[in-house]
Amino acid sequence: MALAVFYTLTLAQAATLSRYPYLQNVASDQATVMWATLESGSGSVRYSLDQKTWRTVTARIRAFLPAQTGLVFTFYQYEADLSPLSPATDYYYQVLVDGAGIADGTGTIIQPIRFRTAGPGPFNYLAFGDSGINSTEQRTLAAMMMREPNVSLVVHTGDIAYLHGTFQEFQSNHSDIYGNSSPSLNGNMMRSLPFFLTPGNHEYYTPDWTLFPYLSLHSFPKEGVPAADANYYYSFDWSNAHFVSLDANLKESFEPNEQWKVRAVTPLTSAINGDGYMLKWLEQDLAGSRKFWRIVFFHQSPYAGGNNASDPAGKAFRDYIAPILDRHEVPLAMNGHEHSYQRSKPIRNHLAVAAGEGTVYITTGGGGYALYPLTPPSLVGDVSAYAEKVFHYMRVEVQPYQTTVRAIRIDGKEIDRLTLAPKPRVDAAVNAASFTPALSPGSLFSIFGRYLAADEGQAQSLPLPTQFPGMGVTLNGYPLPLLYVSSTQINAQLPFDMKGAATLRVTTSNGLSEIPVNIADVAPAIFVASTDQGQFPAVLHADGTLVSPSAPAKTGEVVLIFLTGLGQVNGQITCGQAAPASPPLTVTAQVQVEIGSGSRLSPEFAGLAPGFAGLYQVNVQVPPLAGGNHTLRIIAAGSSSNPVTLAVASASQ
Question: Site residues (CB under 5 A) for Fe ion?
Answer: 159, 200-201, 337
Maximum C-alpha span of the chain:
94
- Specify the residue, 169 or 285, whose C-beta has the smaller distance to Fe ion: 169
Rounded to whole angstroms, how far apart are CA atoms 506 and 331? 20
- Specify the residue, 258 or 414, whose C-beta has the smaller distance to Fe ion: 258
- Specify the residue, 200 or 276, whose C-beta has the smaller distance to Fe ion: 200
Rounded to whole angstroms, how far apart are CA atoms 11 and 585? 74
The sign one gets for the Cα dihedral 32, 33, 34, 37 is: negative
Rounded to whole angstroms, how far apart are CA atoms 87 and 587? 45
Give the DSSP letter string of 322-341.
Answer: HHHHHHTT--EEEE-SSSSE
Rounded to whole angstroms, how far apart are CA atoms 298 and 249? 9
Nearest partner of 431 among 536, 518, 547, 530, judged by Cα: 518
Distance of closest approach, residue 250 Cβ to Fe ion, in angstroms? 12
Nearest partner of 376 among 310, 300, 298, 302, judged by Cα: 310
Contact 444, 493 (CB under 8 A): yes
How distant, in Å, are the alpha carbons of 462, 575, 584 from that of 570? 21, 14, 10
Distance of closest approach, residue 129 Cβ to Fe ion, in angstroms? 8
Distance of closest approach, residue 114 Cβ to Fe ion, in angstroms? 34
Distance of closest approach, residue 379 Cβ to Fe ion, in angstroms? 16
- Specify the residue, 200 or 614, whose C-beta has the smaller distance to Fe ion: 200
Distance of closest approach, residue 20 Cβ to Fe ion, in angstroms? 26
Count of residues in the chain: 653
Give the other-Cβ count within 10 Å of 500's Cβ.
10
- Specify the residue, 46 or 337, whose C-beta has the smaller distance to Fe ion: 337
- Specify the residue, 134 or 474, whose C-beta has the smaller distance to Fe ion: 134
Distance of closest approach, residue 299 Cβ to Fe ion, in angstroms? 6
- Specify the residue, 337 or 392, whose C-beta has the smaller distance to Fe ion: 337
Distance of closest approach, residue 314 Cβ to Fe ion, in angstroms? 11
Closest residue (Cβ) to Fe ion? 337
| Three-state secondary-structure class, residue 282 | helix
Nearest partner of 364 among 399, 428, 427, 407, judged by Cα: 407
β-strands 605-608, 113-116 pairing: unpaired
Nearest partner of 555 among 645, 652, 483, 412, judged by Cα: 652
- Specify the residue, 50 or 255, whose C-beta has the smaller distance to Fe ion: 255
Is omega for the bond preceding 163 within 30 degrees of 0, making it cis? yes
- Specify the residue, 337 or 633, whose C-beta has the smaller distance to Fe ion: 337
Adjacent-strand bridge partners of 215? none
- Specify the residue, 334 or 547, whose C-beta has the smaller distance to Fe ion: 334
Distance of closest approach, residue 200 Cβ to Fe ion, in angstroms? 5
Distance of closest approach, residue 163 Cβ to Fe ion, in angstroms? 11
Please name the residues in contact with 264: beta carbons below 8 A apart, sequence gap of 6 or more. Answer: none
Distance of closest approach, residue 202 Cβ to Fe ion, in angstroms? 6
